[in-house]
């Protein structure tokens, strides 16, 4: 404990972080994208069963309220979009409970941006442009950017069909690949199977010394993305990877308020079935969607993980000024 007061990372990493933030701001300034700030503490929170959140008590007698630390600035930023902000970006802290390890710190830094009028393909072009610029400015030579559909890459490394779930096929794959625990863990839940197999047997191969973009995710992993018009089995979602590390998650954003509320309700029911902490549906976001969210695409990128890759560090704690254990 004698050195516990010291930073988790080197002073050179602090300087690199500052440079990266400056370069990101310059990138969006040149493109006319507005930097915004939204609350980190809110009356509602995302309903995604995959995410655990922090709560805090707001006390101003006689009022006592439970508030949520945001897992992402997404909902508030979409309210700005609906109010006519135009294309926007934000660099902020986000909070996710229960996440700690090599790639996770419960408090982390996120870059999130939304481009009005952009299709997912246009957003992917801009993602590649930003990543290539950031790495190029620091003499990090990236391999050419790769793009693949989820179904194609999943089939390439597993031989399984990601869009058409066959329980027997998935079980056979698990047993043949020495992961019998997947059978008990995933049961007949397609989403759990996809998450397990993708993270263990596909993701480690993605983006070897270069940017890899995986798009057209199975519709059962819809999150806040819209269903693809010409293929209802997939949603317009993209995730980006370098050296097997997931760096970001983006969508051609869902604008249908009825569909969004249905998804919220489904996720709340799933949280109840799994006996997870109750979340509060964001009625203000639904009101914004009802008023009219413009056609847009957006992505959230974990800047700490990006710094890990750029600096060659193996743990997120090595790029934070103070990781959880020294906070």
Per-residue pLDDT reduced to its tens digit, 229-256 = 999 999 999 999 999 999 999 999 999 9
Per-residue pLDDT reduced to its tens digit, 78-137 = 999 999 999 999 999 999 998 778 899 999 999 999 999 999 999 999 999 999 999 999
Q: Which two tokens stand for residue 240?
A: 């980006």
Peptide bond into 62 cis (omega under 30): yes
User: Residue 3 above 70 pLDDT?
Assistant: yes
Bin 178: left if φ > 0, else alpha if -120 < ψ < 50, else beta: left
User: Residue 213 above 90 pLDDT?
Assistant: yes
Nearest 5°: the CA angle 128, 250, 95 is: 115
By 3-state DSSP, what share of the chain in percent is helix, strand and coil, each rounded to 5? 40, 25, 35
Residue 18 φ/ψ, nearest 5 degrees: -60, -40
User: Residue 206 above 70 pLDDT?
Assistant: yes
What domains are defined for the chain? 11-142+209-326 (3.30.930.10), 148-206 (no CATH)
C-alpha to C-alpha distance for 166 and 171, rounded to whole angstroms:
9
Give the 3-state secondary structure of residue 24: helix
User: Residue 1 above 90 pLDDT?
Assistant: no
- Model confidence at 310, in pLDDT bands (50, 70, 90)? very high
Q: Which runs of consecutive H residues, i.e. helices, occur in 159-256?
A: 167-176, 181-186, 190-197
Which long-range CB contacts under 8 A does 127-133 form with residues at least 24 apart?
127/211, 127/213, 127/238, 127/240, 127/248, 127/250, 127/299, 127/301, 128/211, 128/213, 130/24, 130/27, 131/211, 131/240, 131/242, 132/211, 133/23, 133/27
| 222 or 162, greater pLDDT | 162
b/e code 57-76 from CB counts within 10 Å (16+ = b) = eeeeeeeeeebbbbbbbbbb
- DSSP structural state of residue 100: -
C-alpha to C-alpha distance for 212 and 309, rounded to whole angstroms:
13
- Model confidence at 297, in pLDDT bands (50, 70, 90)? very high
């Amino acid at each position: 404990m004698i050195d516990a007061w010291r930073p988790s990372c080197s002073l050179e990493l602090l300087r690199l972080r500052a440079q990266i933030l400056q370069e990101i701001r310059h990138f969006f300034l040149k493109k006319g994208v507005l930097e915004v700030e939204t609350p980190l503490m809110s009356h509602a929170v995302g309903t995604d069963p995959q995410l655990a959140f922090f709560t805090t008590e707001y006390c101003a007698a006689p009022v006592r309220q439970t508030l949520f630390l945001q897992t992402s600035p997404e909902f508030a930023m979409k309210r700005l979009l609906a109010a006519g902000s135009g294309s926007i970006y934000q660099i902020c802290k986000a909070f996710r409970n229960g996440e700690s390890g090599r790639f996770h710190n419960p408090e982390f830094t996120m870059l999130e941006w939304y481009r009005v009028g952009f299709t997912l393909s246009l957003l992917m072009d801009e993602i590649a442009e930003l990543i290539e610029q950031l790495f190029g400015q620091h003499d990090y030579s990236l391999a050419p950017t790769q793009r693949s559909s989820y179904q194609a890459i999943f089939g390439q490394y597993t031989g399984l069909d990601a869009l058409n779930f066959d329980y027997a096929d998935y079980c056979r794959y698990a047993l043949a690949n020495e992961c019998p625990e997947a059978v008990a863990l995933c049961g007949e839940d397609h989403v759990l199977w996809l998450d397990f197999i993708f993270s263990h047997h596909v993701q480690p191969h993605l983006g070897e010394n270069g940017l890899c973009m995986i798009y057209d995710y199975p519709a059962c992993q819809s999150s806040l993305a819209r269903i693809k018009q010409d293929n209802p089995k997939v949603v317009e979602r993209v995730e980006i990877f370098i050296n097997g590390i997931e760096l970001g998650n983006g969508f051609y954003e869902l604008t249908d308020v009825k569909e969004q509320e249905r998804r919220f309700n489904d996720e709340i029911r799933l949280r109840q079935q799994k006996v997870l902490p109750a979340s509060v549906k964001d009625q203000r976001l639904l009101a914004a969607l009802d008023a009219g969210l413009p056609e847009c695409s957006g992505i959230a990128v974990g800047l700490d993980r990006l710094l890990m890759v750029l600096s060659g560090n193996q743990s997120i704690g090595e790029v934070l000024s103070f990781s959880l254990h020294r906070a």
